[in-house]
Amino acid sequence: MDVIQVQGPARLAGEVAVVGAKNSALKLMAAALLATGESVITNIPRITDIALMGEVLRRLGCEVSFTERSKTLADVRINVPETLNPEADYDLVRRLRASICVLGPLLARCGRVRVAHPGGDAIGSRGLDMHVAGLARMGAEISGEHGFVIAEAPSGLKGAAIWLDFPSVGATENLLMAAVLAKGETEIDNAAREPEIVDICTMLSSMGADIEGAGSSKLVVRGVAALSPTTHATIGDRIVAGTWAFGAAMTQGDVTVTGIDPAYLEIALDKIVQAGGMVETRPDSFRVRMDNRPRAVDVVTLPFPGFATDLLPMAIGLAAVADGVSLVTENIFDGRFMFVQEMIRLGADIKTDGHHAVVRGRERLSSAEVRATDIRAGAGLVIAGLLTDGTTVVRHAHHIDRGYPDFVSDLRGLGVVADRVEAPADPEYII
């Protein structure tokens, strides 16, 4: 496994471009299953997870081809056959949690689906209860065996009123994609409001779906007999953009991020302003500058439009070098704090209690060898390494590859001495 090495202390300065959102592109690829023929999705990030989703679709019977536009960007063509294989293989699904989003489209198209329980990042329990309950309300019969979820609706799905106990992004996406081909009207209350949900609604509408309420907590979907293939551009990745925003604030840097609507990051950018940073926004870019040591600010993660849980590692990184004491509260995933022990290896003063973390800021962290536990934690540890007094080594860099295309090149473009090298055998970690 490769490692990423960064030399501290370093200040991020310059311009960096953000490409399509991973959390949107994966679901858009699944949405293509709903229409026979060739759909084209542009502004796709060149990351590991996209390649895995491409293989998932191939095994379902699709022809999938990628056209590279740059080192970080590609387009994907998905040719969907009239008859699909309704089973998603375990060996792929276990590596990519987002592949569970084929459940809704396959059930709508085939009337039967067998999908393995998903894997993905180890950041806490992310059950399928709301997916299953919603599909059952639409007339599906759900069962499970040998690690697979099996759903059947031989006479087709029917519109229903569905209330989500929590505004789950995954459940909203699966139920939305199932509802567009169901008979009658489906209402999804307490639906997720993330920009990625709006993006998938936009693509589905261009395919002929009848959807109202995108971006609100209530989606109304009137089922249609069939959809048509389309061409759609993925929205910019707000989490990658937020990573660079917090990186600029942490390192007292000056970074302009392009290819992103700043409205997707309103609360995150406001936290940087509260910490003493200066933020300038334009319709498709923003600039973050921090001239002095950041001030401590409290952060609470919530569903959109709240502070994104995926930016929690960066918020803790900012708190670790801020002037004062910060309280960081995680409300989405019960395992999100798994990476905190690695931050402590870098000299951060962090105490956790349940879903709270108390962080006492220090002027400087200390270099060490640490381990990425998930995509965002890995990126956060690399950025934190810029606040140290030497070379920080982040192992398990493959996690970062799943969310950040060419991360090291972007770091170098912002003035960081960074390298990616082949790792020796992984040492024992005693926590």
Residues annotated within a binding site for UDP-N-acetyl-alpha-D-glucosamine: 97, 310, 332
DSSP single-letter state for residue 310: G
Catalytic residue among 121, 254, 261, 374: 121
What spatial distance separates the first Cα and last Cα of the chain, rounded to whole Å?
A: 21
Token duo for residue 285: 């870019």
Instruction: Identify whether the C-beta of residue 400 lies closer than 8 Å to the C-beta of residue 373.
Output: no
What tokens appear for 184 in the block?
């009658």
Q: Return d(Cα 280, Cα 287) in angstroms, integer.
A: 5
Binding site, by residue number, is: 22-23, 97, 310, 332
Annotated binding site for phosphoenolpyruvate: 22-23
Task: Tell me the one-letter amino acid at 428.
Answer: E
Report whether 113 contacts 151 (CB < 8 A). yes
**Burial code of 46-67, b = ≥16 C-beta within 10 A, e = fewer?**
bbbbbbbbbbbbeebebebeee
Q: Which two tokens stand for residue 59?
A: 């095994």
Q: What is d(CA 52, CA 222) in angstroms, rounded to the nearest whole number?
A: 32
Residues 6+ apart with CB under 8 A from 222: 159, 184, 185, 186, 210
Identify which of 302, 293, 353, 351 has the alpha carbon closest to the alpha carbon of residue 323.
293
Cα separation values, 177 from 37, 165, 227, 247, 381, Å: 17, 19, 11, 36, 36
Confirm if 35 and 207 have CB atoms less than 8 A apart: yes
323 tagged catalytic: no
The number of residues in the chain equals: 431
Strands 285-289 and 278-282, bridge-based pairing: antiparallel
CA–CA distance, 68 with 46 (Å, rounded to integer):
8
DSSP state for residue 302 in the 8-state scheme: -
Residues designated as active site: 121
